[in-house]
Every structure is written in C-alpha cells, then in structure tokens.
Structure 1
Amino acid sequence: MESQASSGNIIQELFGVAGKRVLVTGASRGIGQAIAEGFVKAGARVYICSRDAAKCEATAEELRRFGHCTALPCDIASAEQRRQMVARLREHESALDVLVNNAGALWAAPLAEYPESGWDKVFDLNVKGCFFITKELVPLLEAAGTHEDPARIINIGSIDAFHTPSHETYAYPASKAALHHLTRHLARLLAPRHITANIIAPGQFPSKMLAGTLEKKGLDTLLEPIPLKRLTAPSDMAGAAIYLASRAGAYLTAAMVPVDGGLATTL
C-alpha cells in the first residue's frame, strides 16, 4: 500500500496540473477543444477563446461538466478583440500559468490562383495574432512563473513546418515554420522572466482542416505512410500539452514535440 501511495504521489508531483490557470485559444473544436478538455479534467482552471461566441460558450458549457471552464470569445487576429479578451481574463485572474496558442487558419488553392487575401488571413492568425496575444499576456505569465516552476507558452505548430507537404496550402506551412522559429526566439528571450516556450507539432489530426483530404483520399491512404497506423487522437494532443505544462516539463524550452506517429519524423 505504501509503494502504491508513493507512486501516486510522484505521478501527481511530476504530471499534476490541478489549480493551474490555463488559456487555450481556438478551443471551440478540434485540437484546441481536446487540449482544453484534458486540462479541465486534470483540475486546471481553464479559459477558452474562439471567434464564434456561441460555439465558444457552448464548448465551455460542455467542459464545465468536468470542472472549471470559462468562455472568453475573441478573434485573435483582431487587435481590439485581443485587448478586450485580456481585460476580461484579468477580471478573473491576476496571473496565468499556461498559454496554449492553438488558433489557426489554412488556405488551399492552386499556385496560379492563390489569393493575397488568403495568404494574409493565414499569417494574420497563425503568426501575427499568436505573437501579439503572447506579448499582451507576458505580464500575467511573468506573475505566475518562478525559477523552479516557470509559466509556459505552448504553441501548436505543425509537421508541415519541417517537411514539405504535397498539397497546395502555401501560406500554412510557411506560417507554421515562422511560428516554430518565433517560439524558439521567445524561449531564449523570456527565460530570464521564468517563462518557457515550446512547440507541439501535430500530424494528421481528424479536424475540420483534414476533412477535405480525408474525404478525397480516404483513411487507408492517409494511414499508409504513418508508422503507427492511426491518426493523431485528442488524448495524444492533451497528453503532450499537459506534460509540457507540468513539473515534468519544467526544464524544457525551445523544444519541438512532434505528435505525428512518425509520419514526418522517420522519413
């Protein structure tokens, strides 16, 4: 019995995130919702945002069945909405332990038809919005971080940032490569302020972004090059984020964690 109790204690000591204050962007569905749900179930105080206020509140209501979750609707690409969201967050919390930058966009079109508006939409959200929401939340992150337990920035990148995709989504992999490098830059400069910055790079996650490819190519075709022969699951993304946010991940910064079943990392 004593050894079992000790095992339970070390698991909580290393991987527990109960009571941590967490903000997840782009959390009304897909990867963001999976990560938010994982943190809620683990006992964190979770705040979620997305552009669609109704969907954001509906997701928060669903997650409140498992614990604390508050909706803070916001279009991360809008400077005014970012400012308003941060002000609302400050009404609830004086510090922020974990920021998960998941909000993102994709635009696919043939090269000859690729619109400047599509390029701008992707970069405005995936890079610019991510940078400025982080900038505006640094004071809250700094208030939470300590030498032994830093505050955490977790940016959701993509395996498309370090391998060449076959589909015509030109702005998306370029934006994710920019986000990966931005994360490393932030990691170096924010370390003295007790804030880490890391990347999770998911592979084939069954989200709205993948739906068209899945319908066109079929599941078997998508699984064929993946060594582990399955898509990225919600629990895979939640587990990686909780690890980076926990004591077990406190000494990681500027790291990239691929959650891709070996798709891009064994080529």
Structure 2
Amino acid sequence: MTGIEVTGKTMLVTGGSQGIGGAIADRFAQLGARVVIADVNEAGAEKAAQLNEAGHEAYFIRCDVSSSEDIRALAAEVGEKLGAVSVLVNNAGIFPRADLLQTEEAFWERIMDINLKGTYLMCQAFVPGMIEQGGGSIVNIGSTHARMGSEDAMAYAVSKGGIVTLTRNLAKALGKHGIRVNVVQPGWVASEGETARIIASGVNPDKLFADAGSRLLLGRMQTGQDVADSVLFLASSLSQQVTGQVLTVDGGLSLR
C-alpha cells in the first residue's frame, strides 16, 4: 500500500460542488476513492455526474451544514449506502465581508453557523463511524485570516480561528481512536467564486491574480489543486504521525 493509497475508501467533502471543495473531490476521485459531495448547492449533482461519467464513483447529497437535521439525514444516508467514512473534509464555508460596525447579529450568526458550527456538527455525526471502523482522518479547511485578520472580514476570521481551536481539541480527544484531525489553511485562492466576484467588480481576474501572485514568495496564486494536494497528504498514510496541526498553503503570504 502506497502512502497516498485511497482506493476504495469513502471520503466526504462538504461544499464540494465547486472551488476548493470541487478540486478536493476531483483529486480523491482520480485516485479511486468513493467521493460523497455534500452541498447546499444543487450544482453538486452535476459535479458528481461528471465524476461518474469519467469512470469514478461519486455521490451528491444535498445538505445545509448549519442544520443538524440535514446532517443527521446525511450521516444516515451515507451510512446506509457506503458505511463509515474514512476521510471527512469540512470545507463548506461562506466569506461575506463586513467590518465591526457593519456586522449585525444575524450576519455574525450566519457565518458562525456555517463555518464553525457546521464543522462541529459534521464531526459529531461522522466520528462514531470512524471510531467503530478503527480510525480515520478529518481535515478542516481554515484560512490565513485566522492568524492575520482583516478589516472587512472580522466574523469570518473569528470563525476560522475557532476551527483551529476545535481541531486541536478533537485531535487530542480522538487520537486514542486512531482518528487524526488537522487543518489546511489556504491563502487567497484563485477559485471560481473569487473569479466571479472580481468580474462583477469590473476587474480583469487573470491580471489581478497574476499581479497578486507575482508578489508572493513562490511567485503565483494558489489554486484549488494546491489545497487539494495538501488535503490528500493529511488524509493519507504519508502523514500518519501528524495530528492537531495547521498546514498553511499560501505561497509565503503569511511570512511577509
């Protein structure tokens, strides 16, 4: 068995219809994993269909990760169809912008419900199956905002900081069950969502990404594939002694 062997394993990625989550789903499917895409976005059905047409095994189950009812239904369906999940990737998240004075209570709660509470609820739902099968890997998707902060992303940054704390607590609690829990912390990723947002602002995204990437230590912007490869490392036996850690994938941005 090679260090990146995931063939036949069931992995679940939230927010897997596009962007970082879509790249993660692609990477694991290409290596022979059975991929479950859990997303509130119905585009996940098309993503799963594309993977299946390419000869992979993929499933789409609609799920709002802020809803404990949806997550219980998701866990029941996955358990019935595929059994225990070996790799859980908590990627679903939102990134609306607002500074302190613009952040209303409902705005704050929505971000926390999806980004932080959703991660906790997913772990709570799928950890029992991992314990029963003797282990597994949980990879939570964080953000460099957790360390660096931003004037117009306060609530988002706090939610991602909470994910780091949650991860370390779970790693300590679940290690005895053979379950590893880690965080991948991307910088600014050139994803479909960011491209659409930039186009809407009237700016050329290719030029913006090229200019921004040229100022990074490694000379280019991160892509969803870069994040997916890092998730694969943490999910695989190549990192079998790694738990409770934060792997930053930002091209050196946080060193500036």
Correspondence list, 1:161-240, <5 A = 161-165=146-150, 167-211=151-195, 212=197, 218-240=208-230
Conserved in 2, the CA contact under 8 Å of 1:32 and 1:102? yes
Q: Which residue of 2 aligns with 1:58?
A: 46
What's 2:95 paired with? Answer: 106
Q: What's the counterpart of residue 18 of structure 1?
A: 7
Q: Cα distance, 1:234 vs. partner? A: 2.5
> Which is further off, 227-236 or 188-197?
227-236
**Could you say if the C-alpha distance between residues 224 and 13 of structure 1 is closer, same or farther in structure 2, counting changes exceeding 3 Å?**
closer
Measure the CA separation in 2 of the matches of 1:164 and 1:70: 36
Kept in 1, the 8 Å contact 2:210–2:220? The answer is no
- Is the CA contact 1:94–1:143 (under 8 Å) kept in the aligned structure 2? no
| 5+ long unaligned stretches in structure 2 | none
Q: Cα offset for 1:220?
A: 4.5
* Number of residue equivalences: 249
In the alignment, is residue 37 of structure 1 matched against residue 26 of structure 2? yes
**Helix, strand or coil for the counterpart of 2:148?**
coil
- What TM-score do the two structures reach when normalised by structure 1? 0.88
- What residue identity is the alignment partner of 1:57? A
Shift of 1:210: 3.0
Amino acid at match of 1:155: N
The letter for the 2-side match of 1:44 is A
> Post-superposition shift, 1:192?
0.9
Give, in whole Å, the separation in 2 of the partners of 1:226 and 1:24. Answer: 29
Q: Which letter maps to 2:119?
A: C
Does the residue aligned with 1:15 lie in a helix, a strand or coil? coil
Give the percent of matched residue pairs that are identical in Structure 1 and Structure 2: 33
Q: State how far apart, in whole Å, the 2-side matches of 1:143 and 1:41 are.
A: 27
Rounded Cα–Cα distance in structure 1 between residues aligned with 2:99 and 2:171 = 35
Task: Calculate the aligned-residue CA RMSD, in Å.
Answer: 1.8
**TM-score (ref. length: structure 2):** 0.91
Q: Deviations over 1:14-43 (max 9, x none)?
A: 122111110000001100000010000001
The corresponding residue for 1:70 is 59
For 1:15 and 1:110, locate their aligned partners in 2 and report how far apart those are by CA, in whole Å: 41
- Alpha-carbon distance, 1:231 to partner: 1.3
Mapped partners of 2:243, 2:99: distance in 1? 37
Give the direction of change, closer, same or farther, for the CA distance of 1:93–1:143 in structure 2 (3 Å limit): farther
Tell me how far apart the structure 2 counterparts of residues 241 and 153 of structure 1 sit (CA, whole Å). Answer: 9
Q: What secondary structure, in the 3-state scheme, does the structure 2 residue paired with 1:112 have?
A: coil
Residue 177 of structure 1 aligns with an amino acid whose one-letter code is: G
Query: Which residue of the partner structure matches residue 111 of structure 2?
Result: 122
Q: Distance in 2 between matches of 1:209 and 1:173?
A: 18
1:137-172: per-residue Cα shift (whole Å, max 9, x none)? 111111233xxxx4100000011111133x401110
> Is 1:160 aligned with 2:145?
yes
